[in-house]
């Protein structure tokens, strides 16, 4: 991470840290519903701040940023029994040792398991949500993680990623989270016996605006492949190799 203390930098304190919110953590994307018939799932985790105890606002830009990814994931999976859903956060920030979005991801996984059973899951997270997805990957249902411009501090643990697949997309011109930290994280994850693949995105910055369609396509194709619903795309061909730690730049076609 650069000089900023967090992916979405304002230090906001307020609300009640331990306030319970009754809403469910798992919010199906449009066209999806949580049911016993689900055979697999992709859960999306949006970005946030280092410190913010208030809940996300109704007009939540980090959450809105993930909607086109949900649309692309729905198209890529194409199976009616594959659930695409967003994780609802109780708090807007990571909040130090509390790691609140990790707890929310675990709540969502528990809700999914209670209704659909132990179905395979891919977690897709951006920025703070990428860090949360990587932390929550120790859940036995999680097949892999697609991390988008993730927040990966140098001391972020990786030992729990053994036998998991991790795909990370990052623009090296990102001014909020550091791509170099992401590549270093992948190196540590590989030593922990994870299957990893890094993709240097040619544009997009932290908000993934430039070449947005390419971000959407690679993410959706990676998630579908990790669930076994499609072959690995060319941009991620190295993920299936015997020595799968590669960092490449995708073609414009993805």
Q: Give the 3-state DSSP-derived string for 180-228, with helices as H, strands as E and coil as C.
A: HHHHHHHHHHHHCCCEEEEEECCCCCCCCCCCHHHHHHHHHHHHHHHCC
CA distance 33 to 179: 35
CA distance 228 to 254: 19
| Strand, coil or helix: 97 | helix
Query: Which comes out higher in pLDDT, residue 189 or 1?
Result: 189
pLDDT at residue 78, rounded to an integer: 79
241 phi-psi bin (left φ>0, alpha ψ -120 to 50, beta other): beta
CA distance 197 to 245: 5
CA distance 252 to 254: 5
Residue 18 makes CB contacts below 8 A (sequence gap 6+) with none
The token pair that represents 36 in the structure block: 């016993």
The token pair that represents 16 in the structure block: 């009640």
**Bridging pattern class, strands 142-148 and 195-200:** unpaired
Q: Residues 4-27: what's their mean pLDDT?
A: 52
The token pair that represents 103 in the structure block: 């707890």
Instruction: Give 82's strand partners.
Output: 40
pLDDT digits (tens, 9 = 90+) for 152-181: 999 999 999 999 999 999 999 999 999 999
CA distance 13 to 54: 7
pLDDT at residue 33, rounded to an integer: 86
pLDDT digits (tens, 9 = 90+) for 95-153: 999 999 999 999 999 999 999 999 999 999 999 999 999 999 999 999 999 999 999 99
CA distance 191 to 59: 40
User: Among 186, 182, 130, which Cα is nearest to 158's?
Assistant: 186
């Amino acid at each position: 991470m650069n000089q900023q203390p967090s992916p979405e930098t304002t230090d906001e304190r307020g609300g009640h840290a331990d306030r319970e919110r009754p809403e469910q953590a798992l919010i199906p994307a449009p066209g999806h519903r949580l049911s016993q018939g689900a055979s697999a799932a992709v859960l999306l985790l949006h970005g946030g701040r280092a410190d913010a105890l208030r809940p996300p606002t109704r007009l939540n830009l980090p959450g809105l940023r993930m909607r086109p990814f949900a649309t692309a994931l729905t198209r890529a999976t194409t199976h009616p029994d594959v659930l695409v859903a967003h994780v609802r956060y109780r708090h807007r920030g990571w909040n130090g040792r509390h790691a609140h979005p990790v707890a929310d991801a675990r709540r969502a996984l528990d809700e999914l398991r209670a209704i659909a059973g132990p179905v395979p899951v891919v977690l897709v997270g951006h920025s703070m949500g990428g860090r949360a997805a990587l932390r929550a990957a120790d859940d036995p249902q999680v097949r892999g993680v697609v991390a988008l411009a993730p927040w990966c501090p140098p001391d972020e643990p990786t030992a729990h990623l053994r036998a998991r697949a991790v795909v990370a997309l990052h623009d090296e011109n990102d001014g909020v989270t550091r791509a170099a930290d992401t590549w270093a994280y992948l190196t540590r994850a590989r030593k922990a016996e994870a299957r990893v693949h890094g993709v240097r995105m040619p544009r997009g910055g932290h908000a993934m605006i430039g070449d947005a369609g390419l971000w959407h396509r690679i993410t959706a194709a990676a998630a579908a492949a990790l669930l076994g619903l499609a072959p690995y795309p060319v941009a991620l061909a190295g993920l299936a190799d015997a020595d799968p730690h590669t960092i490449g730049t995708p073609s414009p076609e993805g």
